A and B are shown apart, each in its own frame.
Chain A
Amino acid sequence: MDPALWRRAEALFGEIADLPAERRAARLDQACGDDNALRDLVETLLEGDRLEDRVAPALERAAADVGVDQESVWLGRAVGAYTLTGKIAAGGMGVVYRGRRSDASYDQEVAVKLLTSSLVTGELRRRLLVERQILANLNHPNICRLLDGGETDEGVPFLVMELIEGEPITEWCDHQGLGVRERVALGRQVCEAVQFAHRNLVVHRDIKPGNILVTADGVPKLLDFGIAKLLDPVADSGHTTVAGFRMLSPRYASPEQVLGGAVTTASDTYSLGLLLFEMLCGSDPFGRDESSATGGRMPMPDFEHPARPTRRLAQRDDAESIARRRDATVAGLARSLKGDLETILAKALRNEPERRYQTARELADELDRYLDSRPVLARPPTAGYLVSRFWRRHKGASIAAAVAVFAMLAGTTAATVGFIQARESERVAAAEARNAEAISGFLLSLFEESDPEVSVGEPRSVRELLDIGMERADRELAASPLALASVKETMSEVYKSLSEFDVAQRLNEEAYALVLEHTPDDSDAQVRLMGDIGDLARIREDLTEARRWLEQARDLHLASGGPETRALASVLNNLALVLESEGEHDAALALMKESLAVRQRLFVAPNDQISVSLHNIGWLLSRNGDLDEAERYLREAIAMREAVWGEFHPRVALTTVILSRVQKAKGDWEAAERSAHRALEINRAVFEPGHRDIPLALFELAAVKEGVGELAAANELYRETLALDIEANGPRSFDAAYSMKTYARTLVDLGRPDEAIPLFEEALSIFRESGRNTLRPAYDTTTHLGRALTLAGQPNVALEYLSEAPDESIVSYVKGRMFAERGLALSAAELALGRDDAALSYADSVLAAEEALAPEERNRLGEALQARARLAIGRGEADMAEALLARAAEDFATRGATIDWRSALVELDRSRIACFEGDALRAEALAGGALPVLREAFGDDSPRLAQLEHCAHRSAGR
């Protein structure tokens, strides 16, 4: 800069900077004349004068960054439930550490990201909380899970993520020497994951090789979904930015991200295009790979003109080694890139968002077509144009709402395109193309509702937008029935995810009616919709209705003779669940196996859908007592789920819970306890405290303890389960009532009926109030309430409860355990009232019923024999009693409890008989053997133990 020029510019700038525009221009002309250097400088200064100050915020970030690198401060420290064990990497947003759960006995390694605190102030901090919830629910095999988050004691925010050990996707492809087709297939998988996130209202915003790691098993995992948005201070503000002062990886960003436009799902698609471009030809379409290698600041790319991959390849000096890493010659690689792939990449990399693939799904489908050697689509922009226009108008609209509607838009457009392809008549096709526009126009108009300038008050929530959308869909899309059907189907899905099953079902039925009327020959759409309706009915426990729809869906598919579909597999799966609920076990199992076979033909293992079928088959087998076979399926399901999602995933925990039940049923207590522990650890690791799956696993652990005979320990665990159920599901939830009932039952066993009674009563009132089918648990609760009342000295009240006739609809179920327990409770109540004959008659009928069952179904035989024996003792029939007790002990012994307190109680009964017979020594010996076992099972402070000890000593002492 020439100091003289600068001084003249300074004087002129000072003079005219605050003049009105016209006078300023005039004065500028006058003062500069032909002096272009002066004019340019002053004009530049006037422009600069209007720019926003981005220096101060950048300095703030830089100052914060000085502290970030200090790993020594953090290593070995606890952050939330994790201890930091090593530093992994540092970046502009913070530092990533390797962490390990501090309170767990197993090794769960995670990645803990500490965020530079100055970035996360006030509003951002609040958003971080909200968004964390959304991200935590992003469960997809190819997406790195966000496990936890919070703030350290000092207020430094952190995020805990699944630790992925892998290589950036581009490097992995090179090291593996993958060919072009294999790379396309891998890229396609990434598109699927991105699409999944888009449907879940999350835009990645920062897709690049470093954020996509491929594990040793070849599974790509996307990192940091939505994180960029959380931390990009300009993401929501709609400001255009001064270049160089925003947080973004410009190398893989879309033009609108670089130039300050609205970020949409199409921005992710653009980044996917850049990623694919690099995976395929080892280069960047704008040559930025070379300029960054030389360390220079990257020039602004010419977004209008991305190079073709073959051209970039030809420009590279290292073309040969690039080709070699793709298992090809340069000429061969160029040949594979030409044509379809070039067309696809060109469309993905269009400068204008509306001219690109609108969704990752479209891109994935296009890649599919390439892999199947079908012609790729080149669809003219329709909906996208409207979208971009909207974005230009409403940069400040609520992002969540915007993304939600975007995801819907993406879904419906794709669905409509599907409809179009299914049509043969050109006339209909043209009409449907208009539908696509009608849908987008309609959904976009919903944005108006979220635009603060249009609707007064708070920005609307997604839920409100949906409700408004529903009302308006009928009104405004009446002329485009298939568009209306698409909107309804998509909205139904969203409502289902919000647990609004009634609304979801109604929307699906309406969509189905429309499809049936307007495209009666499109059987795939009908099968899909009928299947969804049936599944919703199943969820709402309307089994008859569910069965009707699902059977119709299956029959329609069979009649159509079309190829097997994903929807068909779901229909079979859900129909099997319905049949099982209706007691048709064998048919259910056969169908479930059919569903598995379909999925095995459609998908490549390991696959989440296949693992669902394996899990369900294992579960069905376990219900029918086919335990070895059940265990085999469940173990396979667990292995597959671990391969798909990793060891720490709720789905793995769920299958492990079922496995624990099977092992328990087999009497393999150790394995059952291990599994229950494992499930509990996983759920505690992946869920926030208070999540309903934690008590689910804890209940299982308690059940194992009960089975082993550690009654006091089981009781304590049930108590804990109950507390967690109340926290997670509410004090009057079904789950809470169920735990309440079970906890109370063990209280009775421990000799504390007074405490159990109010709990049973509460559980019973919840069961009766709940809309669900609770006849069986209610019946069971009544039985145990009666038993408790008798023990508490109120046999009259007990009889009132116990004599209630069971509802007709459950009589068929009321056999086996429930029938036996009710009979024994009645017998005990009658006995307490001194009505020995009635007591005897109940006990006899229970015993007879148990003996009539097949040996493996007699699960209360020991209790029946013991009850009958006690009546015999009372009647002085010592020999008979001894014989009955011997059989009872035999039955209890087969149950495999480690602490067999039931057999110990039998020993006490025998001690009583010995006492009656005057054999004090034998009585004492028997009691002496039994009491330590009972002490171990019931705990030292059990009232029942005290009672029993008292009786035993009395018998022995006489």
Chain B
Amino acid sequence: MTDEDITQLLHRWSAGEAQALDRLTPLVYEQLHALARRHFRGESAGHTLQPTALVNEAYQMLVGVDVEFQDRHHFLALASRMMRRVLVNHAHARNASKRGGGALHVTWTEDLPSNDSALEADILSLDAALDELERFDERKARALELHYFAGMTYAEMAEVLEVAESTVHSDLRISKAWLFKRLEAA
């Protein structure tokens, strides 16, 4: 798959072709997953590992800069969803491996097994909360996703969500307030 193909897929998807999305999704997912792994090995220049940075890096790698704004926004929107899926799948995978891993006789018990449970719980409860929010206010759930997983600017979000920038502001404020309380109770 060349860059050009991806750009075309993206373009076709923007133009409303659903099949293009089906082909694009696994590509974006794999790219994000690979980037996260590369980051841990320290092979990239960045020092921190924000999902938003990963998404943007994936964009640079998959698409390059020479596309229309429209396409870029669509890509980021897609990538934010995929980033969320990468993290959730990883948390699930770890939960699964822990349940099956009891047979090994311990020579060194890693600290904080419940720590990483906390980590997984964080991601899984965030995922669940976003799902819950989506059920009664889809646009705000989407705004949170774009904000946390793609690091979009307010202007970009306004365009993707097709609302005024001021609406993005108030959407994010109230949905964060709801989310923080929701997570606190989780």
For chain A, the count of residues having a C-beta within 8 Å of the partner chain is 76
Q: Which of B's residues lie within 8 Å of A, judged by CB? A: 33, 36-43, 47-51, 54, 83, 86-87, 90-91, 94, 106-116, 118-119, 121-123, 125-126, 132, 135-137, 148-149, 170, 173-174, 176-181, 183-184, 186
Complex CA–CA separation, A950 to B183 (angstroms): 90
Closest to A56 in B: B148
Which B residues are in CB contact (< 8 Å) with A66?
A: 33, 36-37, 40, 86-87, 90
Choose one: B41, B113, B126, B136; the contact of A1 (CB below 8 Å): B136
Q: Which of A's residues lie within 8 Å of B, judged by CB? A: 1-3, 6, 10, 13-14, 17, 44-49, 51, 53-56, 58-70, 73, 88-93, 96, 111, 116-118, 121, 152, 154-156, 163-168, 171, 206, 210-211, 213, 223-224, 227-228, 242-251, 292, 297
**Given A45-B174, A117-B42, A244-B118, do A67 and B108 touch, yes or no (CB 8 Å)?**
no
Do the beta carbons of A213 and B119 come within 8 Å of each other? no
Choose one: A55, A156, A163; the contact of B148 (CB below 8 Å): A55
Complex CA–CA separation, A62 to B49 (angstroms): 9
Complex CA–CA separation, A224 to B108 (angstroms): 11
Choose one: A156, A163, A245; the contact of B122 (CB below 8 Å): A245
12 contacts between A and B (CB under 8 A): A49-B177, A54-B180, A59-B148, A63-B54, A88-B107, A89-B109, A155-B42, A213-B106, A228-B111, A244-B121, A245-B122, A250-B114
Choose one: B38, B106, B183; the contact of A242 (CB below 8 Å): B183
Do the beta carbons of A249 and B148 come within 8 Å of each other? no
Interface pairs A-B: 8 shortest CB-CB: A67-B40, A154-B42, A89-B110, A48-B177, A92-B115, A92-B116, A48-B181, A66-B36
Do the beta carbons of B118 and A248 come within 8 Å of each other? yes
Do the beta carbons of B40 and A70 come within 8 Å of each other? yes
Closest to B170 in A: A14
**Given A53-B176, A63-B54, A155-B42, do A246 and B123 touch, yes or no (CB 8 Å)?**
no
Do the beta carbons of B178 and A65 come within 8 Å of each other? no
Do the beta carbons of A251 and B174 come within 8 Å of each other? no
Complex CA–CA separation, A227 to B121 (angstroms): 22
Which A residues are in CB contact (< 8 Å) with B184?
A: 48, 51, 242-244
Which A residues are in CB contact (< 8 Å) with B42?
A: 117, 152, 154-156
From residue A451, how far is it (CB to closest CB) to chain B in Å?
31
Choose one: B110, B125, B178; the contact of A96 (CB below 8 Å): B110
From residue A120, how far is it (CB to closest CB) to chain B in Å?
10
Complex CA–CA separation, A116 to B91 (angstroms): 16
Count contacts between A and B, CB distance < 8 Å: 215
Closest to A17 in B: B173
Do the beta carbons of A6 and B136 come within 8 Å of each other? yes
Do the beta carbons of B181 and A51 come within 8 Å of each other? yes
From residue B43, how far is it (CB to closest CB) to chain A in Å?
7
Which B residues are in CB contact (< 8 Å) with A64?
A: 36, 39-40, 49
Do the beta carbons of A245 and B108 come within 8 Å of each other? no
Do the beta carbons of A118 and B48 come within 8 Å of each other? yes
Complex CA–CA separation, A224 to B111 (angstroms): 8
Do the beta carbons of A249 and B48 come within 8 Å of each other? no
Complex CA–CA separation, A45 to B86 (angstroms): 29
Do the beta carbons of A166 and B40 come within 8 Å of each other? no
Do the beta carbons of B112 and A62 come within 8 Å of each other? no
Do the beta carbons of B119 and A210 come within 8 Å of each other? no
**Given A55-B126, A92-B115, do A62 and B40 touch, yes or no (CB 8 Å)?**
no
Choose one: A45, A60, A93, A166; the contact of B181 (CB below 8 Å): A45
Which A residues are in CB contact (< 8 Å) with B38?
A: 67
Complex CA–CA separation, A49 to B170 (angstroms): 11
Do the beta carbons of B108 and A88 come within 8 Å of each other? yes
Which B residues are in CB contact (< 8 Å) with A117?
A: 40, 42, 47, 49
Complex CA–CA separation, A49 to B94 (angstroms): 32
Which A residues are in CB contact (< 8 Å) with B48?
A: 60, 118, 121
Closest to B42 in A: A154
Do the beta carbons of A93 and B186 come within 8 Å of each other? no
Complex CA–CA separation, A168 to B116 (angstroms): 18
Complex CA–CA separation, A372 to B41 (angstroms): 55
Which A residues are in CB contact (< 8 Å) with B135?
A: 1
Choose one: A3, A51, A111; the contact of B180 (CB below 8 Å): A51
Do the beta carbons of A62 and B122 come within 8 Å of each other? yes
**Given A14-B174, A91-B110, A117-B49, do A248 and B40 touch, yes or no (CB 8 Å)?**
no
Complex CA–CA separation, A210 to B186 (angstroms): 26
**Given A65-B90, A68-B40, A70-B40, do A246 and B118 touch, yes or no (CB 8 Å)?**
yes
Which A residues are in CB contact (< 8 Å) with B86?
A: 66
Do the beta carbons of A165 and B181 come within 8 Å of each other? no
Closest to A94 in B: B110
Closest to B171 in A: A10
Which B residues are in CB contact (< 8 Å) with A88?
A: 107-108, 110
Which B residues are in CB contact (< 8 Å) with A167?
A: 106
From residue B131, how far is it (CB to closest CB) to chain A in Å?
12
Interface centre among B36, B49, B148 (most CB of A within 10 A): B49
Which B residues are in CB contact (< 8 Å) with A111?
A: 108
From residue B86, how far is it (CB to closest CB) to chain A in Å?
6
Complex CA–CA separation, A251 to B117 (angstroms): 12
Do the beta carbons of B50 and A251 come within 8 Å of each other? no
Do the beta carbons of B112 and A92 come within 8 Å of each other? yes
Do the beta carbons of B87 and A62 come within 8 Å of each other? yes
Do the beta carbons of A244 and B54 come within 8 Å of each other? no
Which B residues are in CB contact (< 8 Å) with A56?
A: 50, 148
**Given A155-B42, A168-B106, do A65 and B119 touch, yes or no (CB 8 Å)?**
yes
Closest to A91 in B: B110
Closest to B46 in A: A118
Do the beta carbons of B51 and A63 come within 8 Å of each other? yes
Complex CA–CA separation, A165 to B54 (angstroms): 39
Which A residues are in CB contact (< 8 Å) with B49?
A: 60, 63-64, 67, 117-118
Which A residues are in CB contact (< 8 Å) with B47?
A: 117, 121, 155
Do the beta carbons of A91 and B111 come within 8 Å of each other? yes
Which B residues are in CB contact (< 8 Å) with A210?
A: 109-111, 113
Closest to A7 in B: B137
**Given A55-B148, A89-B109, A168-B106, do A3 and B181 touch, yes or no (CB 8 Å)?**
no
Do the beta carbons of B110 and A90 come within 8 Å of each other? yes
Complex CA–CA separation, A152 to B41 (angstroms): 10
Q: A64-B49, A117-B49, A213-B106 are in contact. List 8 more A-B contacts (CB 8 A).
A: A17-B173, A45-B181, A62-B51, A65-B94, A67-B37, A67-B39, A70-B41, A242-B184
Complex CA–CA separation, A598 to B40 (angstroms): 55
Do the beta carbons of B176 and A62 come within 8 Å of each other? no
Do the beta carbons of B54 and A211 come within 8 Å of each other? no
**Given A60-B51, A154-B41, do A248 and B170 touch, yes or no (CB 8 Å)?**
no
Do the beta carbons of B176 and A93 come within 8 Å of each other? no
From residue A57, how far is it (CB to closest CB) to chain B in Å?
9
From residue A542, how far is it (CB to closest CB) to chain B in Å?
47
From residue A290, how far is it (CB to closest CB) to chain B in Å?
15
Do the beta carbons of B36 and A67 come within 8 Å of each other? yes
Which B residues are in CB contact (< 8 Å) with A206?
A: 111-112
Which B residues are in CB contact (< 8 Å) with A68?
A: 40
Choose one: A3, A46, A70, A246; the contact of B37 (CB below 8 Å): A70
Choose one: A62, A96, A121; the contact of B123 (CB below 8 Å): A62
Do the beta carbons of A92 and B41 come within 8 Å of each other? no
Complex CA–CA separation, A54 to B94 (angstroms): 22
From residue A556, how far is it (CB to closest CB) to chain B in Å?
48
From residue A297, how far is it (CB to closest CB) to chain B in Å?
7
Do the beta carbons of A166 and B112 come within 8 Å of each other? no
Complex CA–CA separation, A63 to B177 (angstroms): 23
Complex CA–CA separation, A59 to B33 (angstroms): 14
Do the beta carbons of B112 and A247 come within 8 Å of each other? yes
**Given A60-B50, A88-B110, A91-B110, do A49 and B173 touch, yes or no (CB 8 Å)?**
yes
From residue A217, how far is it (CB to closest CB) to chain B in Å?
15
Complex CA–CA separation, A60 to B54 (angstroms): 10
Complex CA–CA separation, A206 to B136 (angstroms): 41
Complex CA–CA separation, A68 to B149 (angstroms): 20
Which B residues are in CB contact (< 8 Å) with A249?
A: 111-115
Complex CA–CA separation, A245 to B179 (angstroms): 13
Which A residues are in CB contact (< 8 Å) with B113?
A: 91, 210, 249
